[in-house]
Amino acid sequence: MPGVKLFPSESFDEAYRRFKKQTDRNLIVTELRARRYFEPMTEVRKKQKIAARKKILKRLWMLRRYESRL
């Protein structure tokens, strides 16, 4: 867990900024958002299928774009 000790010559805003940087580096906020609600396994699989389809379509689009330039 990130933690910040306040130095004597440091303002609260600077310490808060350092704390926010630590939480961003440790991906705490993104993990919290991902765990906010319970997702059934069917929903997880559905999202994975959608992501896989998007990835394939993106590759296909890039390939067609590349071939059209030749």
pTM passes above 0.85: no
List the structure tokens of 44.
């997880």
CA atoms within 13 A on the CB side of 43: 5
Helical spans, DSSP H, in 1-70: 12-25, 28-34, 41-69
pLDDT of 16 > 80? The answer is: yes
Question: pLDDT digits over 18-54, tens only?
Answer: 999 988 888 888 888 888 888 899 988 999 999 999 9
